[in-house]
Homo-oligomer: A and B are copies of this chain.
Amino acid sequence: MKSDYILGVDGGGSKTTARLVHLASGKSWEGRAAASSLSLGLTRSVAVILELARELAFRADCELEQLCVVCGLAGAGERSLANQAHEAMESYFARLEVMTDARTSAYGANGGEPVAVVALGTGSVAMLLDEQGNETMIGGWGLLVGDEGGGARLGVNAINAMLWELDTLGQPESEVGKWLCSQLGNNRSAILYWLRHATATQFAGLVPGIIERLERCQQAKALFESHMQAVERLISATGEHLPVVLTGGLAQISARHLSEPLRARIIPARGNSLDGACILAESLMQPSSSALLTGESEL
């Protein structure tokens, strides 16, 4: 069956978006679903993506097997996971590629032109597309050992500070600490239970409540300043000359607080990770696409 439908998927730690395009007519359909980061579990990720694809195919009145698909997924930097996701889904589609959302973001951000995309979502990662077409990734190592500048890390740091207030003062004193304690539970056992069950998405879900208290709470302000230091460190690590696109839920507020030299490098995004996935999905149809679609380079 000749395919002239493409499907781009952007799967992060907080949500999944997808766009199906009928190339001949230019008509497109978009949808949105729960998180499908591979870090949250392969089974969940595959279920979310397939259901979203089915919904869009139904609306576009086509079949899954007519689709050329590119999934840009958080957590796909670990090749064995990306391979498993590919294996679980490839039989449904005409063609499928699974890659990191850092990669699709980079292609979307500047229409394939050189750029440093710094993603500040649930996690954090920087992806460089340089003048020679090389791709380099910085960060993206996950919440426990990295992801500084991401939302989940900000949530974790805020909880760390709240627990320290709790341990040394008997109860949280700062406004943000009191609020966090009300969210997590009011005794040790409840807090430990919350912590054991919390995903990165849930830690990141605390960020709006922290930001809301920036103006009137010193502790919240200190936490946000430490977030900004991490963001500046990550941007600085992308070198000095590439234009920088900030993406993710923390992009806008972080951009406003950047120091001047770094702010001068920021350009508006020409597209997002979903646009990048669609660009790459369209290129899947061209015979010369293989070079563009090889996996991540080794270190």
A: residues with CB less than 8 A from B are 39, 77-81, 137-139, 141-146, 156, 159-160, 163, 166-168, 170-171, 186-189, 191-193, 195-196, 237, 296, 298-299
Does the CB pair A166–B77 fall under 8 Å?
no
Contact of A188 among B81, B145, B237, B298 (CB under 8 A): B298
A177 to B166 alpha-carbon distance, docked (Å): 35
A265 to B137 alpha-carbon distance, docked (Å): 48
Contact of A145 among B80, B137, B156, B193 (CB under 8 A): B156
Contact of A80 among B77, B137, B191, B193 (CB under 8 A): B193
* A193-B80, A196-B78 known; A159+B186 contact, CB < 8 A: no
Does the CB pair A171–B80 fall under 8 Å?
no
* A139-B167, A163-B146 known; A296+B189 contact, CB < 8 A: yes
A211 to B143 alpha-carbon distance, docked (Å): 25
A237 to B167 alpha-carbon distance, docked (Å): 8
> In chain B, what residue has the closest Cβ to A138?
B167
A128 to chain B, nearest CB (A): 11
